[in-house]
Amino acid sequence: MKILIFTFLLILSSIFNFQVNAQDCNGDVNQRITCYEQNITNLQSSGKTLQNQIAQFDAQIKLTQLKIAQTEEQIGLLTGRIDQLEGSLDSLTKAFSERVVETYKMARVEDPLLLILSSDNLSQAFGRFTYLKKIQDADRNLLERLTKAQNTYKEEKVDQEELQNKLETQKKQLDTQKSAKNALLLQTKNDEKKYQTLLSQALAEKAAIEKALVSGTKVGPIKAGEPIALVGNSGYPGCSTGKHLHFEIRRDNAWTDPAPYMQNKSMIDEQNGGGNTSIGSGNWQWPIQDTIRLTQRYGHTPYSWRYSYSGGIHTGLDMVSTTSDVIRAPADGTLFKSSESCGSSIINIVYIEHGSGVISFYLHVQ
């Protein structure tokens, strides 16, 4: 009997997975975009399974590809209009320049007083004067058309630049989504049990931070630049994959991108191929010294699918230093320390309360 039930459940599971993977969208671009957005919403509200996660990535990739095609089409249409405007501008500018010169010559010759004195009768003088006024009115109309065309050209060039920036963002998003799917398959090896283990580890790390906020031991005031801990791998293997510093900032208990708080700095971006990148727009010091290797950014990353509790967002910055393991306070505040269970392991956490609802966290320290 148990075998029959198990077989029946397997059949249901395979049918469900097929339905998830088989979902597709038809119609024009806008209809397909709407369809895939709805599919993603439905998948996100379904059970957390490996097949469901793969289906989400597939839908997100198709959605982004459609949006890229849509943006490229918009750029193409806009470029065509801009080319036409450039031609119109050239023609209008040339016509206006020629008309201005001729009208100026005519205006000098057709001075109203000279018209009256040189004409045989007043009617003839008035007719010539009226003709000159019509020419001048036509010139003003031409100038208005030229000004309007120039303004439209400038606006559409701005729109074109914005669309190009949007396209670059979409292409980067597509690369991230493809990398995330590949990372998922590589890390789980298409094994549901491994997938669930990785999700559990991420949740355990979140729970450890929440416990630390309640049970952390107050150390005391700390100044920017003072040492607070050493980079480590505490929490391994329960909720750490290797020696690194996980640095995150919460404001009013909500995750926030650390970059706007940090001083601008050049570092090695290992998440995106190992090239140099520049991060930071604030005045906080970085918690570790140069040279910094950034292994995972804040936000959607190739590995952030694990963090279902945050909507698939990596809530901080993962980094290591090539010169020192010393972690230093990035800004003044009050230091706390805590050790919490994280799955089958113990994770060491330090955090600093900076005031105004801002707290910085440092995970996996020695």
- Identify the CATH class of 1-190: mainly alpha
Averaged over successive runs of 10 residues, the pLDDT of the chain (366 residues) comes to: 38 41 76 93 88 94 95 88 73 64 55 52 55 64 70 82 93 93 93 94 94 96 98 92 95 96 97 93 97 96 90 95 96 98 94 98 98
Name the segment(s) of the chain with CATH classification 1.10.287.1490: 1-190
Copy the structure tokens of residue 330: 């990035």
pLDDT at 257: 98
Say which residues have a Cβ less than 8 Å from residue 71's Cβ, sequence separation at least 6: 163, 166, 167, 170
pTM over 0.85: no
Give the span between the Cα atoms of 278 and 265, in whole angstroms. Answer: 5
DSSP 119-173: SSSHHHHHHHHHHHHHHHHHHHHHHHHHHHHHHHHHHHHHHHHHHHHHHHHHHHH
Question: Is residue 333 classed as helix, strand or coil in its secondary structure?
Answer: strand
Distance of CA 141 to the CA centre of its chain: 45
Distance of CA 92 to the CA centre of its chain: 41
Find, among 57, 69, 66, the residue nearest to 35 by Cα.
66
CA distances from 165 to 155, 162, 231, 258 (A): 15, 5, 37, 23
Find, among 345, 325, 301, the residue nearest to 243 by Cα.
325
Say which residues have a Cβ less than 8 Å from residue 340's Cβ, sequence separation at least 6: 207, 208, 211, 212, 215, 346, 347, 349
pLDDT at 204: 94
- Parallel, antiparallel, or unpaired: how do β-strands 275-279 and 292-296 relate? unpaired
Helix ranges (H only) for the chain are 2-22, 29-44, 50-109, 112-118, 122-188, 192-215
- Parallel, antiparallel, or unpaired: how do β-strands 227-230 and 345-355 relate? unpaired
Give the span between the Cα atoms of 278 and 184, in whole angstroms. Answer: 28
pLDDT at 131: 58
Copy the structure tokens of residue 158: 């701005």
pLDDT at 339: 97
